[in-house]
Structure 1
Amino acid sequence: MQFAIDIPHFGPFSDPHLVAELAHEAEEEGWDGFFLWDHINYRIAGSSEPLVVADPWIQLAAIALRTKRIKIGPMVTPLPRRQPWKLARETVTLDLLSEGRLIFGIGLGSDRSREYSDFGGPTDAKVRGEMLDEGLAILTQLWSGEEVSYKGQHYQLSQVQFLPKPLQQPRIPIWVAGNWPHKKPFRRAAQWDGVFPLMVERALTPDDFREILDYTSAQRTLTTPFEVIVGGLTSGTDKASDAAQVASFAEVGGTWWLESFYPRHTLEQVRQRIHQGPPQL
């Protein structure tokens, strides 16, 4: 099991200097990764105050320059609201800047904060799913460095070639997020390098993960390594309880534990948990 910090990129975490320093501190304390949410806008329930929001990709560039070892990336980018060719340039550049430490987390995203509808984007989940699959096909073909032509329902490319290629080969790892019990995201995840299961109504249990991984594994035809990402919070103070909590997910196939913070958490709480270090199995 590897361990990462996962934070929003808005509110107290909108300062790129601060976020880069937090990532540096996490690296020093032995964490294995540092990931950021990816929103263009965000609404906190019950609040009418405008929220200060940073661009997570610029923040990731700052993190790449302030760290040397830890994995970095968005958790997760809603690919249907991005142009795949622009994202291809950004991901390759960030992979090179970080010397091969980028992990690309992707998903449909939602319109809960009107991140699609406020900007004229697609609100239908089926349409976003089609755009996500087409976007992944385009992105990975552009990463190849070969000439690409593509004709899909939502995107078309005509004889384009992108260089340089990513440092990581055969490609930058792609982790796919999805809300269980919807099955389509997990069939999609089986085609790539990792799965990040979520649930809207409640926190996922180890038994949920066992069911999810049984389903996902049955869809998988690749024999390459496959990461299973678990999001949660440990205390940082009760080491035995933290170890037992994480071990219960490791036993059913979890390979990454994301210490997942939310807008309600303060800078002080996040920094304190970073300095307490990752759980010890």
Structure 2
Amino acid sequence: MRYGLAFPYVDAHTFIELSQVAEAAGWDGVFYWDGGGTDPWVALTAVAMHTECVRLGTMVTPLPRQQPWKVASEASTLDHLSKGRVILPVGLGVIDLEKMGIVKDYKIRAKMLDEGLEIVDRWWSGEPFSYDGVYYQIEEASGMPSLQTPRIPIWVHGSEKQSQLLRAARWDGVKMNGTPTQIQKDRQAIMAHRTIAAPLDIITEGQTPGDDHEKAAATVRSYAQVGVTWWIEAIWDTPQSTGGVDGMRTRIRQGPPRIE
């Protein structure tokens, strides 16, 4: 199992510093909030220049809000700069995004997400392509290959909804919430639709007590036993609300809830 950190909005200098602390403490990934304010790709690029091995991504990018070719280009550029450390988690975006011009209808957003992912995938191939979708049209474009092959890993949100199960089966990872039993059930449903031979990452998010390793490991172990491959520690909840940046830094330094 790998262990990441989901960062709330913090200024870029703080994000760099906390990411360096995370790498030193043994965390495997840092994921920065993509919801306005600081541009996540600029901030992640700065982190890439100040770290060596920690994986880099957003949590999560609302792809229907943005031009998919721009996201593809930014992620690919960062993948080269970071020597292949990028992950792209995507989703529909929260309902409040309608205030920023995105459509409110989640069914439309879902179709935009699927079209956007097809464009991102083709962009990373580096081969010339055109695209004629309902929401996106490209007459001719040549993208930029990612450094990672066959592509930068794409994570999507998953649940028991049929549309989300089918989407998750197509890509590289699926972020799921719920109990280990619920996640195991949804994972089995996704694998029943999966035709790709590559492994599927299962990601979940939660909180563990950094000052009680045995308790933290017990929590994570129950998820690992049902196939979860990434545990994302949500430091934007209790650590931040009770201690601000210092609280986040303390939890990061305590290290991931690794299973012995």
Letter in 1 for 2:172: D
- Determine if contact 2:210/2:251 at 8 Å carries over to the other structure: yes
**Residue matched to 1:135:** 116
Letter in 2 for 1:176: V
The answer to whether 1:170 aligns with 2:150 is yes
The answer to whether 1:183 aligns with 2:167 is no
Query: Following the alignment from structure 2 to structure 1, what is the Cα–Cα distance between the partners of residues 27 and 102?
Result: 37
| Aligned residue among 251, 255, 259 for 2:225 | 251
**Residue matched to 1:225:** 199
SS at match of 2:209: coil
Q: Give the structure-2-normalised TM-score.
A: 0.94
**Residue matched to 2:6:** 6
Query: Following the alignment from structure 2 to structure 1, what is the Cα–Cα distance between the partners of residues 199 and 146?
Result: 19
Letter in 2 for 1:172: I
Query: Following the alignment from structure 2 to structure 1, what is the Cα–Cα distance between the partners of residues 30 and 90?
Result: 16
Query: Following the alignment from structure 1 to structure 2, what is the Cα–Cα distance between the partners of residues 191 and 185?
Result: 10
- Determine if contact 2:235/2:251 at 8 Å carries over to the other structure: no
Letter in 1 for 2:57: G
- Determine if contact 1:76/1:177 at 8 Å carries over to the other structure: no
| Aligned residue among 16, 20, 27 for 2:23 | 27
**Residue matched to 2:34:** 38
| Aligned residue among 238, 245, 253 for 1:275 | 253
- Determine if contact 2:90/2:154 at 8 Å carries over to the other structure: yes
Greater share of helix residues, 1 or 2? 2
Residue 186 of structure 1 and its aligned partner are, at CA, apart by: 2.4
**Residue matched to 1:18:** 14
Summarize deviations over 1:74-131 as a string: whole Å, max 9, x none.
12111000101111211111111111000000111121xx22x223221111110111
- Determine if contact 1:79/1:108 at 8 Å carries over to the other structure: yes
- For structure 2, list consecutive stretches of 5 or more residues without a partner in the other structure: none
**Residue matched to 1:48:** none
**Residue matched to 1:201:** none
Query: Following the alignment from structure 1 to structure 2, what is the Cα–Cα distance between the partners of residues 71 and 183?
Result: 30
- Determine if contact 1:34/1:73 at 8 Å carries over to the other structure: yes
Q: How many residues align?
A: 255
- Deviating above 3 A after TM superposition, structure 1's stretches of 4 or more consecutive aligned residues are none
Summarize the Cα distance change of 1:230–1:151 in structure 2 as closer, same or farther, 3 Å threshold. same
Q: Residues 51-70 of structure 1 correspond to what in structure 2 (within 5 A)?
A: 53-70=37-54
- Determine if contact 2:169/2:191 at 8 Å carries over to the other structure: yes
- Determine if contact 2:41/2:75 at 8 Å carries over to the other structure: no
Letter in 2 for 1:190: A
Q: Residues 139-158 of structure 1 correspond to what in structure 2 (within 5 A)?
A: 139-158=120-139
- For structure 1, list consecutive stretches of 5 or more residues without a partner in the other structure: 41-52, 199-203
Query: Following the alignment from structure 1 to structure 2, what is the Cα–Cα distance between the partners of residues 105 and 261?
Result: 18
Residue 183 of structure 1 and its aligned partner are, at CA, apart by: 3.2
What is the RMSD computed on CA atoms of the aligned residues?
1.3
